[in-house]
Amino acid sequence: MLKLGVNIDHVATVREARYRGQTQGEPCPVEAVRITETAGAHGITAHLREDRRHIQDRDIWAIREAVTTRLNFEMANTAEMIDIATRLKPEAVCLVPENRAEVTTEGGLNVAGQIDAITATAQALGQAGIEVSLFIDPDPEQIEATARTGSPFIELHTGAFAEAYDDKAGRAAEIERLAKAAEQAKALGIGVNAGHGINYENVRALFAVPHLNELNIGHSIVSRAITVGLGQATGEMLEQMAGYDAG
């Protein structure tokens, strides 16, 4: 079964648009946890960014307490975030690149260029009982580098696929890249997740990619929730994901 991790960052984005700098406000990320889990989400993803643009420190601790499925904590590979993660003890951590000028994460982590640093972090988190995933582009070099770090999972960056979706040839090329990456990761003993830009229209095209364990989806679900509610939006995505064969 293909699992759904709901990224609730943009629930906090809406709140921060009105209540930035305040200690309370709406909507509440913790309530989003409860609603999406009740609707069948298999996990919750939240990204505590270095600039605290959406999820705040108080949120991540409250989310940790509220989650009854599993928490996937997205973070940059910094000493501050490693310290928070080892105290927070999420079930999983996904290491992602950060650029303060970007609207959202623009590309995958350059694992090949920082193997020693990522290996040290993966070991520290692993010793704390935390599953480690690296958010990477579907690139053979990065997958090989991931194996060298000892990280047990990758999350394939599906942004290029999402951007190419309306172009038939471009879509086919990106699906092929993702499929080859998934096959390579599987052969190296690395589990495969995916995320970024996935929505209700394009998600089923990813059925052509083998060995997927989990999709992490946020913006599309939160956007849909504005009109139908978060519970229904989560349920609709789960319906779209039903029937996937990992191969």
Q: Which one of 16, 74, 174, 214 is the catalytic residue?
A: 74
Does the bond joining 138 to the residue before it have cis omega, within 30 degrees of 0? no
Residue 211 sits at φ, ψ, to 5 deg, of 70, 15
6: left (phi over 0), alpha (psi -120 to 50) or beta: beta
**Residue 74 annotated to the active site:** yes
**Residue 157 annotated to the active site:** no
Residue found under tokens 């990065």: 142
Q: Which one of 37, 155, 196, 214 is the catalytic residue?
A: 196
Burial class, 102, CB count within 10 angstroms (exposed 0-12 / middle 13-18 / buried 19+): exposed
**Residue 196 annotated to the active site:** yes
CA distances 129 to 64, 85, 117, 242, Å, are 15, 11, 19, 30
**Could you tell me which residues come within 8 angstroms of residue 111 by beta carbon, excluding any fewer than 6 positions away?**
118, 134, 136, 142, 145, 146, 149
Assess contact for 100 and 61: CB atoms under 8 A: no
d(CA 22, CA 170): 44
Q: Which one of 47, 98, 157, 174 is the catalytic residue?
A: 47
d(CA 137, CA 228): 32
Catalytic residues: 47, 74, 196
